[in-house]
């Protein structure tokens, strides 16, 4: 009987009278076909998908026909978005606008399990937020790349909850870099990645992946009325903000005193706070931290992740490279000193808590001011709340004084003439706008 040849997706199948040969070659053909189907894009999505979550819930939005001077009318709408897991303990990064005014944040994982998330911290200016879920087990973390070497035309992949269709995958290229986009009077973005990968409502907060499956951006906006013009925040910028949003100072009121940046497989120390725990153990500018506890350190956000859950007085072991030698130092976390946190007086008199804003983060606001303090909490019955000050606003001035540090606020409140100034004018930055108002302190209000 003559041999017969046929092709199966690029592989040759050899059939003969021998059944065993036919089955064996057929099996090889099927395996080869499966390999050809697993393209680099399939592999990239497969690598990242378990760390991508869908976010949904109801939020209140203003009604367009509300009249000036009248109470603002609100209506309930269904909101949706996407997020990425950045720490196995359930910390997730997304866009602030996805979770803003959402009282019940529902998070669905890739395995379809759903949890209620807490809003941990956020930054209005950069439209980033951290939420947290307690899944009861370690979660997969998104593979993280870099946005420092992106190339025009390189392949990218967007994954997200587009129009509520969970884990939608689209492919495209990088169309442009360093775009500035103003999406509303209150929200603008700088230094964005532009892509023609389809990004739709619901993709916000989801990852933009490279062909290796590494996150190189967080999808944030689309151009209304245009097709295949979407934007993402570069991942290096995202991680700088996230490092502050999950910092031990912000979430745990603990202090280590280290500032750094990525450097050849570790984090190089660029600044040490005076009298800080880092200074006490002899850490120096130029040292490279490669691990903290069980956490490998490649960038500042990793150091902050290592400090999550620790309290004042806890000891954390650091692996440090110095002069080509590796040494181990044990840092003991301390409570945030008064000069680095809002004082009780500020809370009682102004009805808000303040925290220092890193210089690199403040510079992205693009204002003429030299620095400011982030509003981390607002008392519902206090002077700040009555003036419309919100958590996430940045206080940049009071009367004729700048407020670039907590000592400046203390100085203003302690001035002998302060009582004569009431109500005192204040200046805040919200998004890319500078707003002002008049504050009457609590002692006059007898709160």
**CB within 8 Å of 304: residues ≥ 6 apart:** 243, 246, 247, 248
Active site residue 204: yes
**CB within 8 Å of 116: residues ≥ 6 apart:** 104, 105, 106, 107, 133
Check if the beta carbon of residue 236 is closer than 8 Å to that of residue 196: no
The secondary structure of 270-297 as a DSSP string is EEE-TTSHHHHTT--TT-EEEEETTEE-
Q: Exactly one of 147, 175, 204, 248 is catalytic; which is it?
A: 204
- Cβ-count burial 360-379 (b if 16+ within 10 Å, e if not): ebbebbebebebbbbbeebb
Active site residue 381: no
Active site residue 127: yes
Q: Exactly one of 56, 97, 132, 256 is catalytic; which is it?
A: 97
**Residue 97 belongs to what H/E stretch?**
helix 96-99
Q: At what angle do helices 300-307 and 235-245 cross, to 10 degrees?
A: 30
Q: What are phi and psi of 363, to 5 degrees?
A: -60, -25
Q: Exactly one of 87, 123, 127, 244 is catalytic; which is it?
A: 127
Query: In 3-state terms, what secondary structure has residue 252?
Result: helix
Rounded distance between C-alpha atoms, residue 2 and residue 168, angstroms: 49
**CB within 8 Å of 101: residues ≥ 6 apart:** 59, 60, 61
Check if the beta carbon of residue 288 is closer than 8 Å to that of residue 266: yes
Q: What is the length of the chain?
A: 447
User: Annotated catalytic sites, by residue?
Assistant: 97, 127, 204
């Amino acid at each position: 009987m003559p041999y017969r040849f046929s092709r199966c997706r690029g592989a040759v199948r050899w059939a003969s009278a021998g059944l065993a040969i036919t089955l064996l070659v057929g099996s090889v053909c099927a395996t080869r076909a499966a390999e050809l189907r697993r393209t680099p894009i399939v592999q990239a999505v497969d690598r990242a998908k378990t760390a991508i979550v869908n976010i949904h819930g109801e939020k209140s939005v203003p009604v367009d026909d509300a009249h000036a001077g009248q109470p603002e009318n609100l209506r309930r709408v269904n909101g949706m978005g996407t997020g990425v897991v950045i720490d196995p303990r359930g910390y997730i990064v997304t866009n602030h606008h996805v979770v803003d005014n959402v009282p019940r944040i529902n998070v669905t994982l890739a395995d379809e399990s759903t949890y209620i998330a807490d809003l941990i911290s956020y930054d209005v200016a950069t439209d980033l937020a951290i939420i947290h879920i307690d899944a009861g087990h370690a979660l997969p973390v998104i593979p993280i790349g870099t946005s420092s070497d992106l190339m025009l035309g390189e392949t990218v992949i967007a994954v997200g909850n587009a129009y509520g269709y969970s884990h939608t995958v689209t492919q495209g290229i990088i169309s442009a870099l360093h775009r500035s986009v103003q999406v509303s009077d209150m929200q603008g973005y700088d230094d964005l990645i532009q892509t023609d990968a389809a990004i739709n409502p619901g993709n916000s907060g989801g990852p933009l992946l490279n062909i290796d499956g590494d996150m190189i951006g967080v999808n944030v906006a689309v151009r209304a009325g245009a097709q295949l013009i979407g934007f993402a925040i570069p991942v290096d910028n995202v991680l700088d903000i996230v490092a502050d949003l999950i910092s031990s100072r912000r979430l745990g009121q603990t202090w280590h005193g280290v500032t750094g940046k990525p450097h050849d497989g570790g984090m190089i120390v660029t600044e040490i706070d005076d009298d800080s725990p880092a200074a006490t153990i002899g850490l120096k500018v130029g040292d490279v931290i490669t691990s903290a506890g069980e956490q490998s350190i490649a960038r500042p956000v990793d150091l902050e992740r290592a400090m999550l859950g620790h309290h004042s007085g806890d000891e954390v072991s650091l692996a440090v490279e110095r002069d080509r030698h590796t040494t181990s130092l044990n840092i003991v976390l301390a409570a945030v000193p008064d000069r680095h946190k809002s004082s009780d007086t500020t809370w009682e008199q102004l009805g808000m808590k303040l925290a220092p804003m890193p210089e690199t983060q403040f510079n992205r606001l693009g204002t003429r001011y030299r620095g400011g303090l982030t509003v981390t909490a607002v008392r519902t019955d206090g002077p700040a709340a009555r003036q419309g000050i919100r958590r996430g606003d940045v206080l940049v001035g009071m009367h004729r004084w700048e407020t670039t540090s907590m000592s400046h606020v203390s100085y203003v409140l302690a001035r002998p003439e302060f009582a004569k100034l009431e109500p005192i004018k204040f200046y805040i930055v919200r998004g890319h706008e500078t707003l002002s108002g008049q504050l009457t302190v609590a002692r006059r209000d007898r709160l």
